[in-house]
Amino acid sequence: MVAASRVALAVELDRWPHQALHSCDNPICCNPKHLHEGNHVQNMAEKKARGRVKFGNAQQVWKAKCLPQDKLWEILCRYGDGEKQSSIADSLRISRSAVNMIIKGKLWQREVSALFCVG
């Protein structure tokens, strides 16, 4: 599947763009006048600059979603041993809110449950 905005930008540029970024902040917009080419890092920077990041630094939350399972266990163990969430986040270079979401089961919920054999 390909996003319609990316197809619209490809038609406008006459080549395939890496990613279509929206100057209008409307993800479903396909107006080529509202689109420009960019990459994931640029997209996250634009979202942050416009105040569209829902929690923490979007890039750091994205990194937290890519953590290997042993790091999830490390986060839970370190927190269980009384270490502050901010210290854990800083050492793993992810956002504090991502650590909080992992601990509360809002991020990596299935994987965290599996570590404890919880259905």
Query: For the segment 48-86, what is each residue's pLDDT rounded down to a tens digit?
Result: 787 676 555 545 555 566 677 778 888 888 998 999 999
The pTM score is 0.45
Which has the higher per-residue pLDDT, 94 or 59?
94
Rounded to the nearest integer, the mean pLDDT of the chain is 79
Domain ranges of the chain: 4-52, 60-115
Give yes or no for a contact between 70 and 80, defined as CB atoms under 8 angstroms apart: no
Locate 38 and state its tokens.
Answer: 């960019």
> What distances in angstroms separate CA 5 from CA 18, 47, 63, one per listed residue?
12, 17, 25
Give yes or no for a contact between 119 and 86, defined as CB atoms under 8 angstroms apart: no
∠ Cα 6 57 70 (to 5°): 100
3-state helix, strand, coil in the chain (%, to 5): 55, 5, 40
Give yes or no for a contact between 116 and 77, defined as CB atoms under 8 angstroms apart: no
Contacts of 86 (CB under 8 A, 6+ apart): 96
Q: Which of 35-39, 71-75, 82-86, 110-114 has the lowest mean pLDDT?
A: 110-114
Which has the higher per-residue pLDDT, 10 or 70?
10
